[in-house]
Amino acid sequence: MTAQTGNNENAERGLLPYPVIIAATKGAPEAMAIVVKHYESYITSCLCASSTTSGEMYIGA
């Protein structure tokens, strides 16, 4: 599986291609890696924010 990159509307908006999402939900390792990489900074910011707000770790949306 190869993620499509280029100058299309989804790439400009920072969206994952639909086929990558479907493949990830079916458990394709490469697709799941693409999804994790895409949301890596968001996940990190959630972890940093939750660990500084209280002594308890909370991971939520």
- Digit-coded pLDDT (tens) for 34-56: 999 999 988 888 877 655 555 56
Predicted pLDDT of residue 31: 97
Question: Model pTM?
Answer: 0.59
Q: Identity (one letter) of the amino acid at 30?
A: E
Enumerate the domain spans of the chain. 9-53
DSSP single-letter state for residue 14: T
Burial class (CB in 10 A: 0-12, 13-18, 19+), 2: exposed
Q: Which carries the bigger pLDDT value, residue 12 or residue 44? A: 44
Q: Tell me what pLDDT residue 14 has.
A: 84
Q: What residue ranges in 1-61 does DSSP mark as E strands? A: none
Quick one: pLDDT at residue 43? 84
The dihedral sign for the CA sequence 44, 20, 3, 17: negative
